[in-house]
Amino acid sequence: MDKILFGDNQFFAVNHASDEKATEQSIRFKDDSAIIQVLEQAINLGINTFMCTTHDRIANVCDHMRNNPQTYSGFNIYPCMPYAHKYANAVTELGILGTIKQYVPGNIVGSLAKGGFALINKDFIKFMELLIDAEMKMFKGINTRVIFIQNVIVDMILGLKMYPVLKAYDSYIRQRYHAEPGYITMNMPALLDALNSLGIENPIICSSINKIGFRMSGGTDLYEKYLNEKKFRPVAMQVLAAGALRPKEAIDYLGKFPNIESVLFGASSKSHIQETKDLIEKVLIKESNTNLKDSLTMVQ
């Protein structure tokens, strides 16, 4: 994966530090053109991967990408699913079967039968596959090398100890979409232990990683132990701890863990994108190159 992943919170009024800022962002990005403008600024600055929810408006962004293949050549999207608010609103308005009919691709009768069977028998794995297919419909023709399952589902599965669902997700993403499965969580140590118990080795796990323990279930000491001793592919998110940390301070902390594979961040201006990208490259990519050089020296 790329070291730098560009996120989408700022586009959909998600701001953990300020409701006022969230409202400003909602107004600014009410038109898809504003989202596309910032995305293309990120591309021009050398960022090649957009990690995003499956918000309905992302479908419009994907349409724009398909219509402008030269601009987005080599650009990747890492979908994060499901977008829970979308389905909650649809169920309220349309009912469960109406929601399935609206979102599921392909043969509606067959899909309804599959969905109905899943619901009646509480077959969560079949229903999960149904939802994945529905969410992935908008990304047809787009590079989706990693597909993430959202923490709202992952952490529920962990709490209920329904670990076979994670194994089924892993298999389905690999076989159906020829992509790598990724997992978002607020409890990285518990998730890694669960995945390893299923025989899933070296998984991609996106979790909060910051020096003050913001949204890090288990605390910083346990996270640091796993980052230093366990084999997995960490993606760091919420590194600024909702604005409690300055960018340099936050990125310097990440530099303590050379096995961090990627950093996810969102920004709404070209200058902030550039500033964060430069910090990540200076601290993490330099650190990775230094470690590689040291390893080669030891081999020689």
> Residues 105-115: pLDDT tens digits?
555 445 555 55
Question: What architecture does CATH give domain 81-299?
Answer: Alpha-Beta Barrel (3.20)
**pTM (2 decimals)?**
0.86
Of all residues in the chain, what percent carry a pLDDT higher than 90? 70
The DSSP 8-state label assigned to residue 202 in this structure reads S
Residue 49: what residue type?
Answer: T
Q: Is the pLDDT of residue 121 over 80?
A: no
Residue 47, helix vs strand vs coil:
coil
Q: What span, in angstroms and rounded, lies between the C-alpha atoms of 132 and 3? A: 26
Per the CB < 8 A criterion, the answer to whether 273 and 281 are in contact is no
1-15, 18-32, 177-191: lowest mean pLDDT where? 18-32
Nearest Cα to Cα of residue 277 among 290, 289, 264 = 264
Nearest Cα to Cα of residue 210 among 229, 192, 196, 223 = 223
Average pLDDT, the chain: 86
Q: Is the pLDDT of residue 206 over 60?
A: yes
Higher pLDDT, 15 or 219: 219
Q: Which pLDDT does position 23 carry in this prediction? A: 72
* pLDDT grade for 300, boundaries at 50, 70 and 90: very low
Nearest Cα to Cα of residue 260 among 5, 8, 52 = 5
Q: What span, in angstroms and rounded, lies between the C-alpha atoms of 59 and 32? A: 10
Residue 44, helix vs strand vs coil:
helix
Per the CB < 8 A criterion, the answer to whether 251 and 211 are in contact is no
Nearest Cα to Cα of residue 284 among 239, 246, 243 = 239
Rg of the chain, C-alpha, whole Å: 20
Q: What span, in angstroms and rounded, lies between the C-alpha atoms of 204 and 4? A: 14
144-155 mean pLDDT: 95
What are 38-77's pLDDT values in tens digits?
999 999 999 999 999 999 899 999 999 999 999 999 999 9
Q: Is the pLDDT of residue 35 over 90?
A: yes
Q: What span, in angstroms and rounded, lies between the C-alpha atoms of 264 and 246? A: 16
Which helix (H) or strand (E) segment holds residue 18: the answer is none
